[in-house]
Structure 1
């Protein structure tokens, strides 16, 4: 893309300048980058250290499958053999079990001391056994409750469920016997605790005989387990309503301060509309035998045997007592060898890694707010940097830093062996981290519009970082793991980007933890369709949020002025479709304006224009009529009004300024503080928009063509806007590139600029600007404003803080520079104004009071001599009489401690008369000092400012 013919730099030239500046800035902040990288490295090393300590404990032989040494060949050399048969109870959980043992199916029978009995306050029915049975161990029966629409059917089924005696069929084994146990159920059924605990195994009958205890042998692998079987009496009780069963099941369970389990019922059955041709039943069981997390499968609560029990009773009712649906055994799935693994990176990863990734947010945010607070972006924009190159390079710059940061983080975590990284698919990790850091950068651009102070932005940013991690680990993760929590609320919470990040990291950690424990892999692309993880949904949500937040941030940046100059309208993006006004001068709307009364607050003030101001306006009107393009700057009734607030009236900062500057002219603006000089400059450089009127810079309207004006404009602000870590040479190289300087021309321009402001010798040019003195910074700011040969330059008090030698040198630079450009200069130094400016304008109360070159102003407003005399206080009256004798129209303008100053009209006195009067006075009293001087520019300034103060004509 070629650069435009008017000297303005192209999009890619501007982008290249900013890119080079950012690279230099990044290289200068190498130590800061190292500290940034060390934070995730520290966390990774901490996790590795914790993992090492845990592994030391888990690698102890007592926590591994048991092993022994066996001489299989008889040659005296033993072979190490491991297996469940060589393991103790602590080791057996890790052993492989290729063929789990078969166990008889059991009922969950209440323990004798907990079986339901009749009480006064817990059970309203009187058919329960009396609580006296609790005095004799195992004498209380276990109860089954029944209900339904057909009681007769229920009674018949009950008789089939509770036989009078048990007959062991050798062919069917234990399948004919209804066995049960009061032992707690395990997580898996590799070992049935009923056959290894001290509690007996029961078989259920309607009546137990005297000799109702016998032993059974259960084969477990190559061995057999002997277990005593005891009879337990079972009874059934009919209820007319299922409500009664439900009430009794919960009536006394875990009541009282002792939290004892009392009044447990074996099971409950609701036969509903069952009959001989239809079987329909609801089974109640005691689910509190599951652990507190509720994660043990229902089958391990010994429900299958209860269902088979009542189903057999129905088959026997239909087909006879010899008919059975045999339930031979229950068996666990084969189990591979499992090592006790505890991966700390997966357990703590969601919290730690959320902090690691989120800490980039305050870093990007503070960098953007720093440019806003220090007005550096405004400075770049005023020297020609467009919004497009700024957004593209700044975004790419932060993205590159974030990618390098995340790459180092993932690589280092993988090198040290964190399963969080090594087990999960790297491509999924890349996509997840890439989308999120883009979303995070967009959020930082959006948040930067809300802050104007770096410290405030940093504090808020880091609060967000740590709060997101802690809230995610303390609350959000709890909701993720709670199966009863509505999923749509999870989605709502994930709309917050911090929780989207936490959810993705949580899924990574869960897959890594499971893969490490089971010896499998972590998350893969195929797992994204699994409804039990939210990775796929989170990726889509973050991608959409990235696009939406980016465009909102871009819009807010323009509408709310995030450091980019004057605000634009809410529909600024439609401006290019509108018919733009012509960039040439418009025809003036009015002619000479008569003196008028203007209301200011609650009073009226008389506005009387001086002839030179009237002449200047007529000149501007002529320029506009003739479309004269020989003038660099033309201001046409430029006005700025700030709206009132807190009950205060509106403030008129600039009152219809009309002014024209030709090429090669230096115009000085003088005025007291608050006169409107800064508001005028801010309108000219595009920081604020005029309330009415306009100005043209080489024919370009400041209301619509500021981008074109910036390409040929230089600014030396009142306060130095510099990057502290960049050198003077690097500043000039950056701004020179913005002005379309390249190669040898750029190098030569930078060298000449450094020499002109005396920053070349002694290595000062390659010294960081943060180490410059105040005077050196001012000289660098002036050099920046002049590099690239801008056609219009605005200088706001350029010589502030300079020593006399440097100030004189700087004046020479400005005088040489104004030969081919227009310069507007504000200053409080009358010497500087008189030395540099071709014309001066004195601003008071937002209005231009006079305009002309210094000699014209002194001649026009300074038609008097200034007479000064110092005597003792006793002779002040004598001095006044002396002056009155010289001229009755003399005015005293100054008096302090015997020193008096008077203005003497030039046409009323002769200098010789003054000398004679002073000589005569010396004979009568002591004259310590005296002087007679022509009017200075300072006197003119004071006089004009004093006369221009509005006087009240009507209260």
Structure 2
């Protein structure tokens, strides 16, 4: 049934690699539409971002949001002769885009808690010096500040001179005179001081005094190019309370911290001062301030917190302590740097790309995973090993195959995203992107090899794979990112979470998004290699973690694969096999177990006993002409679900001489399939062993496969490969090449009646059951194996 090649030897490493590579490329060509659908997934997101970006840009930069303009000179016929644009003609929404060559100076303010949030005596705050909670109902609660240090009397002197006793203004220089008062606000700060939100808001501004009179509210008119409005100035009493140590201050400040939306638990303080070892010759102070408000400026964590006034109060108080109350260090204003006219720019790919691009990259994981599990489920991996494919060529070609597919996938993604102008790609250094994506997709492929060992069903693996994809993205966007942005969250825990590869991917994409967003907003570059040294940049640790994990996971995946790649598997200590002695040239003497079994088998039929004695005699000889010898081979399936253990094969001893065609007959459950599964390495014997060409099936199964041909009980075929492509692949594994390969394939197809009528070039998935069976027979006989198994 097959062409004979008496000099044909085992195929080399590169011959096996060539066979598998050709098969994979053919298989890939058959799945062209699947690849197109796979690549269209990231392209869809890129196009979606472009369309959304155009929509957002059109809304951000329409006339209502551009710097305001007005006609300043009108002709006699009513037409505008001259228009001017600038901050003075702009609304609050337009002002942010205007050029500001001379930014206004605003009085420095304290961050004063709102009346309902000011510190009072509650169940959590039992200190007697705090005001009663009833003051919240009347809005008369003081603004409380703590102070501590080594010298309480000095602290009392300093804090006593911080507040003014009255509110003074000068209409000719209103803003300048406001700076002489201690003013504060409850409005949230913003990321710039071109327009101070305290003066643009309808909320009052507080004047902090040591005591407030009954009529302690006044109004002032603010007349600036960007703001013209009347501001209410409301007196609030300043209260300084002594605490014995900085730890006490920390404890009370933390209790009043703004925790979520539980407003009834909020008990806020203005600030706190630790004067440490200050005295008449030395001034040393630490200032606590409330950073909670940094997260409320249009979602920006870069808000300009109101700290200068707190520092000025302490410094000014110490200066007056040294030089007398007539000496004053005035903090006149805070002002922003000049700015040119700008457009509102929000890059959606940088803002939202972290989540969506995490899904894009992780999309490859279930693709690789299901491909590996498919070979395992269909027993195609074992079938290839039976026909001589070693683990080395399989791992090298399969890994490289998935790596090339992943690289092409990522290159298409990055190149397409760059061509259509997504800032996420164009602003960040492409070399950093390449290194990051290259390391991660290698880690992802290694993880797929490792996880594939845990599954034997493609549907289950596919479902779990896609749960991992979408679950990782959602957990990263709604949980992990909040930890990254929380400066108080321990960095060690973030690194621990990044040990999960999905979070490492999310963190790397998050850093790309942050740098491209900031670069687009400020008109600068995105991430460069020098930025990796920045303490706030997590990319360096991500690259280190993913690189180390790639090597570790790849090693563990290979080890697990060697132990569990087939039913027989290998010993967990298989790597010590190189230290063993070489296979003996003669068989072992009969074991005690086998000799002891004679008592048990005396009741067997005479031909069974005769065969057993023949095997024992052959095992005593230094060599034998029998290529297959079974030595007391047993297979016992363990008890399960209350059923007793099942004896599938009861101590079979058998010797087959060369050239003999041996067939087994017996009813269902007799053990025929179990025996052959042990002989071809699908299952491991419970006890006993067998020798093929003098090699023990428990130890040298990989070597035995090079001389064995197997036609399994069920057809193990690739649905999308043709009959000819199957035979070409297995023929190359048997070291056939060139004209000899083509001849052997044609003769094999003719011998099983699959050559004519175009059947040979028809996909195996479209074969009938009988045609698949004939193809399996042809596969088992190609290359003229020295021994073979045909069972069904």
How does the TM-score come out when normalised to structure 2?
A: 0.83
Query: What is the rounded CA distance, in whole Å, between the counterparts of 1:578 and 1:175 in structure 2?
Result: 91
| Stretch moving more, 721-730 or 162-171 | 162-171
1:419 corresponds to 2:423: yes
Does the C-alpha gap of structure 1 residues 193 and 753 become closer, same or farther in structure 2, counting only changes over 3 Å?
Answer: closer
Which digits, 9 at most, give the CA deviation of each residue in 1:426-456, with x for residues without a partner? 2111111111111111111111111111111
Query: What is residue 183 of structure 2 aligned with on the other side?
Result: 180
**Partner of residue 670 from structure 1, selected from 657, 660, 665:** 665
Correspondence for 1:437 = 441
Contact kept in structure 1, 2:189 and 2:293, CA below 8 Å: no
Structure 2 residue 662 is matched with structure 1 residue 706: no
1:784 paired with 2:779, answer yes
Assess, with a 3 A threshold, how the Cα gap between structure 1 residues 314 and 36 changes in structure 2: closer, same or farther: closer
Contact 2:428/2:528, CA 8 A, preserved across alignment: yes
Pick from 539, 545, 548 the counterpart of residue 544 of structure 1.
548
| 3-state SS of paired residue (2:790) | strand
Aligned pair partner of 1:65 in 39, 64, 67: 67
Shift of 1:467: 1.4
1:764 corresponds to which residue?
759
Tell me how far apart the structure 2 counterparts of residues 179 and 698 of structure 1 sit (CA, whole Å). Answer: 98
Structure ranking higher on relative contact order (CA contacts 8 Å, 6+ apart)? 2
Partner residue of 1:580? 582
Counterpart of 1:686 (choices 661, 681, 684) is: 681
Return closer, same or farther for 1:673/1:85 CA change in 2, 3 Å cut-off: same
Partner of 2:29: 27
Judge conservation of contact 1:713–1:791 (CA < 8 Å) in 2: yes
The 1-side partners of 2:23 and 2:160 are apart by 90
Shift of 1:660: 3.3
Q: Distance in 2 between matches of 1:675 and 1:261?
A: 76
Change over 3 Å in CA distance of 1:614–1:235 after alignment to 2: closer
1:472: how far off? Answer: 1.7
What is the CA distance between 1:677 and its match in structure 2? 2.0
1:8 deviation in Å? 0.6
Q: Residue in 1 aligned with 2:13?
A: 11
Cα distance, 1:628–1:518 mapped onto 2, change above 3 Å: same
Residue 737 (structure 1) aligns with: 732
Report what 1:873 is aligned to: none
- Greater strand percent: which structure? 1
From 548, 565, 568, the counterpart of 1:566: 568
2:720 is paired with a residue whose SS is: coil
Paired with 2:686 and 2:130, the residues of 1 have a C-alpha distance of 94
Give how far 1:466 is off: 1.6
- For the 8 Å contact 2:163–2:238, the answer to whether it is kept is no
Q: Could you tell me whether the CA contact under 8 Å between 1:205 and 1:234 is conserved in 2?
A: yes
Deviation for aligned residue 1:750: 0.7
Matched, 1:46 2:48: yes
Partner SS, residue 343 of structure 2: coil
> Post-superposition shift, 1:248?
11
Contact 1:696 1:702 in 2 (8 A): yes
- Alignment partner for residue 635 of structure 2, among 641, 645, 648? 641
Q: Distance in 2 between matches of 1:696 and 1:126?
A: 90
Distance 1:151 1:450, change over 3 A: closer
| Equivalent pairs, count | 772
User: SS of the counterpart of 1:62?
Assistant: coil
Please give the secondary structure, in 1, of the residue aligned with 2:92. coil
Shift in Å at residue 708 of structure 1?
Answer: 2.8
Structure whose alpha-carbon radius of gyration is higher: 1
2:525 is aligned with 1:521: yes
What does residue range 382-421 of structure 1 map to in structure 2 within 5 Å? 382-421=386-425
Query: Which stretch has the larger CA shift, 82-91 or 618-627?
Result: 618-627
Q: Which residue of 1 aligns with 2:76?
A: none
Question: Cα distance 1:636–1:326, how it changes in 2: closer, same or farther (>3 A)?
Answer: closer
User: Could you tell me whether the CA contact under 8 Å between 2:87 and 2:98 is conserved in 1?
Assistant: yes
> CA shift at 1:25, angstroms?
0.9
Secondary structure of 1:653's aligned partner: strand
Rounded to whole Å, the distance in 1 between the matches of 2:206 and 2:333 is 15
* Conservation of the 8 A alpha-carbon contact between 1:591 and 1:621: no
Q: Secondary structure at the match of 2:628?
A: strand
8 A Cα contact 1:384 1:711, kept in partner = yes
2: distance between equivalents of 1:496 and 1:19?
A: 32
Correspondence 1:373-384 to 2 at 5 A: 373-384=377-388
Cα distance in 2 between the residues matched to 1:627 and 1:113: 98
Q: Tell me how far 1:314 sits from its aligned partner.
A: 3.4
Deviation of the 1:7 alpha carbon:
0.7
Residues in 1 aligned to 2:265 and 2:571: alpha-carbon distance in whole angstroms: 73
**Are residue 609 (structure 1) and residue 605 (structure 2) matched?**
yes
The answer as to 2:726 corresponding to 1:723 is no
CA distance in 2, matches of 1:273, 1:594: 91
Quick one: which of 535, 539, 543 aligns to 1:535?
539
Aligned partner of residue 637 in structure 1, secondary structure: strand
Shift of 1:588: 5.7
Structure 1 stretches lacking a partner, 5+ long: 599-604, 798-955
Q: Report if aligned partners of 1:366, 1:454 keep a CA contact under 8 Å in 2.
A: yes
Q: Structure 2 matches for 1:87-166, cutoff 5 A? A: 87-106=90-109, 149=151, 151=153, 154=156, 158=160, 162=164
Secondary structure of residue in 2 paired with 1:502: helix
Change (3 A) 1:639 1:333: same
CA distance in 2, matches of 1:109, 1:383: 80
1:159 and 1:668 map into 2 onto residues whose CA distance is 108
The 8 Å contact of residues 295 and 303 in structure 2, kept in 1 or not, is answered as: no
Q: Say if 2:189 and 2:303, in contact at 8 Å, map to a contact too.
A: no
Shift of 1:235: 7.8
Residue 180 of structure 1 deviates from its aligned partner by 2.5
Three-state SS of the structure 1 residue aligned to 2:709 is strand
Deviations 1:384-408 (A, max 9, x none): 1111111111111111111111122
Aligned residue for 2:459? 455
CA RMSD in angstroms comes to 4.9
The DSSP-based 3-state class of the residue aligned with 1:483 is coil
